Structures are given as C-alpha cells and as structure tokens.
Amino acid sequence: MRIVVLYGADSLRKRDWTGRFIDVMTEAFGEIQRFDFDGATIEPAVILDELRSYGLLQQHKLVVLENADQFLVLKEDEDSVPAGGRRRTARQLMEAYAASPVEDATLLMKADSWRKSKLTELVMKVGAVVRFDPPKDSEAVDWVVGEGAQRHDVKINRNAAQLLVERLGSGLDRLDMELAKLASFVGPGKTVKRELVVDMVGMSREEEAWILQEAMATGDADAALSKLRELMDVSRHNEVPLMWGVIDLTRKLYASSKLMRQGMDDYTVAQQIGLWGESRGPILRAAKKIDSHQLAQLLRNAVMTDKKNKSGMANPRRSLEVLTMHIADTIGSN
C-alpha cells in the first residue's frame, strides 16, 4: 500500500494500527526510514519532496502526516505554481500524487475527520482508508475487562469497568491511561475493584456536561469557550459527552420556553425539565427572553452539528467550539 488514511476519534486504535503496520512494512522491506510531519503547519511541497526523494541506502520510506484533515485545507502552495500556470491547493496536489505514487515510499495520513472525495477514490486504488470510531459503551466495557486489563497486567471487575466507562466515556485512549494509573496502584496481577475506581477516577460525563452548561448559561461566550478548552485540554475529556451536554442545554432551553408560554410557573418548569444547580436560573431567564423559534433553531443546529461530526463531515473539536460560543452569545445578547 502506497497511501493509507487512518481517521476517526479513536486515537488508541489508530496508534495500535500504526504500530502493526510498521511491523508489516519492516518484515516486507527490512529497515525503513520514518519521517513525521504535522499537517497543521507543514507545506505540501515538503511532503511531496520527501516522498519523491531517494532514501538513505535506498531504504523504504514511511512518511507519517498527522492532522491530515487540517493539511488538506491549507492555503494554496505558492512553491507548487508552474511557470505561467495556476496555483493548486494541498488537496489538488495530493490528488495528483495519489494518481501516481512512488514505489519506494509509503504515505500514512492520520486525521480526526475525513470526507469522501476524489482523493478517497484515488487512495483506495493504491492503499486503504480505515475508520476508527470510539466503541459503544458496552463494547468499551468489554475492552476494559479484556484487552485493556491485559495491556496493564491486571484484572478488573466488570462493575468497576462499567463505572470507569460511565465516568470517562467510551474513548479507549483515556480509558487506557486511567487503567495504567489504576494498575500502578494495585500492582501486577492484582484486581481493580469498583471502590478503587470511585476513589481515583474523576467526574462522570453527566457532571462534565453540567459544568459546561453552567458556563454557557452565563451568556459569556469567552468564558464558555475557556471552560470547554479546559475540559478538553487539561482534564482530557472526550468531545462526545461534551457535545451531548451542549445538545442537552439547547433542549432544556427550548422545552422550558414552550412550557412557559403555556402558562407554567418557573418551579414547575424546572421540575418538568430537570433543571438544578447554578445553571437553573440563567436557563429559565434565557427561556423567557429568547423567542421559541430561535431556541428551536439552536436545538436543530446542535443536532445537525453532532450528525456532521459523527459522519466525518466536520472537525469535532472546531465545530464544538463554534457551537458553544454561538449558544453562549445568543443567551448573553438577549
């Protein structure tokens, strides 16, 4: 395979697949040369030059391009403009390469999202496009009890594994990191019990969602974005439960607005919708001030954004940031 694309939110399986792929390449070609590039900053000409140049002692090359989805939307590459010709985008340049890739190099492109396109069809002719989505919760529990526990030489009770997934979500990367921490505490060959998960593992996905909802409900878009990034970058929470929290907030706003316009008082609305915590007051105030049709559109936008994320049509992080700021700004401006 001359070009391989690995995409999706399951970063652990992408890394594991990469390791196995390198083992297969080493078996086929002997020692290989590996070059890693960040697609968010690298120019297309650098990637193409590396692929087309001869390797040291004619070893087979593996060129790994991280953030390939960002790479494909880079600005036009001026170095690629032929004399008197038109500028070509990074995507067009990669399409041209995929139509005739070199024999002594392999390009491995890794991305969070990937949309079907002409480039996909060209890659499929000379390699593969592999999708890695996070497993369902039940599948994640099975992974924790089985493969995850084996990776760290421990055993884990199923009820402990269920709580771990409940608190962290189904993203295998974070589950693996927490398992490593739990394994180091109990020691090799020992059993991780539910009580240890309760003591050592952080907040649940619902608690994450409530924290983000409280920040958005203040109407301060900058503060909401800051809290979202803190949850993702510092606390390492997965986008999936955070997106659920955003959708849930728009649902609460729209449902509260409809009930209020039917004459229901604040206390009854809060009981019906399930509002509590510091976000209760701001949500009720926003539901009173903002038109129901506008709130319905917010809910539709949130659902459609989630759909695009799951289908690979959008960057999950970027779309979540934009949606969070838009909802907070709508609340704050009314």
Instruction: Work out the average pLDDT over 127-156.
Output: 94
Judged against a pLDDT cut of 80, whether residue 79 lies above it is answered with no
Distance from CA of residue 244 to its chain's centroid? 13
Percent of the chain topping pLDDT 90:
57
- Please, are residues 29 and 52 in contact by the beta-carbon 8 Å criterion? no
Judged against a pLDDT cut of 70, whether residue 326 lies above it is answered with yes
Chain segment 276-292, per-residue pLDDT in tens: 767 788 899 999 999 99
Tell me what the pLDDT averaged over the chain comes to: 88
- Please, are residues 188 and 168 in contact by the beta-carbon 8 Å criterion? no
Cα angle, residue 324 at apex, residues 238 and 304 outer, rounded to 5°: 80
Cα angle, residue 234 at apex, residues 230 and 238 outer, rounded to 5°: 80
d(CA 216, CA 332): 9
Confidence of residue 84 (pLDDT cuts 50, 70, 90): low
Instruction: Work out the average pLDDT over 83-94.
Output: 77
The length of the chain is 334
Write a three-state SS string for the chain.
CCEEEEECCCHHHHHHHHHHHHHHHHHHHCCEEEEEEECCCCCHHHHHHHHHCCCHHHCEEEEEEECHHHHCCCCCCHHHCCCCCCCCCHHHHHHHHHHCCCCCEEEEEEECCCCCCHHHHHHHHHEEEEECCCCCHHHHHHHHHHHHHHHCCCEECHHHHHHHHHHHCCCHHHHHHHHHHHHHHHCCCCEECHHHHHHHCCCCHHHHHHHHHHHHHCCCHHHHHHHHHHHHHHCCCCHHHHHHHHHHHHHHHHHHHHHHCCCCCHHHHHHHHCCCCCCHHHHHHHHHHCCHHHHHHHHHHHHHHHHHHHCCCCCHHHHHHHHHHHHHHHHHCC
d(CA 199, CA 222): 33
Instruction: Work out the average pLDDT over 187-210.
Output: 80
d(CA 184, CA 231): 25
* pLDDT recorded at residue 237: 67
* pLDDT recorded at residue 76: 44
Judged against a pLDDT cut of 80, whether residue 92 lies above it is answered with yes
* pLDDT recorded at residue 234: 67
Domains annotated for the chain, with CATH where assigned, are: 3-131 (3.40.50.300), 137-200 (1.10.8.60), 205-332 (1.20.272.10)
Which residue has better confidence, 163 or 237? 163
Confidence of residue 78 (pLDDT cuts 50, 70, 90): very low
Confidence of residue 293 (pLDDT cuts 50, 70, 90): very high
Confidence of residue 154 (pLDDT cuts 50, 70, 90): very high
Chain segment 231-262, per-residue pLDDT in tens: 887 666 678 778 888 998 999 999 999 999 99
- Please, are residues 113 and 312 in contact by the beta-carbon 8 Å criterion? yes
Amino acid 129 reads: V
Judged against a pLDDT cut of 90, whether residue 312 lies above it is answered with no
Q: Which of 310, 257, 253, 256 is nearest to 131 (CA)?
A: 310
Instruction: Work out the average pLDDT over 137-148.
Output: 94
Judged against a pLDDT cut of 50, whether residue 81 lies above it is answered with no
* pLDDT recorded at residue 191: 95
Which phi and psi (to 5°) does residue 6 adopt? -115, 125
Judged against a pLDDT cut of 60, whether residue 192 lies above it is answered with yes
Percent of the chain topping pLDDT 70:
92
Judged against a pLDDT cut of 70, whether residue 55 lies above it is answered with no
Instruction: Work out the average pLDDT over 175-195.
Output: 92
| CA distances from residue 124 to 9, 28, 51, 129 in whole angstroms, order as listed | 21, 21, 18, 7
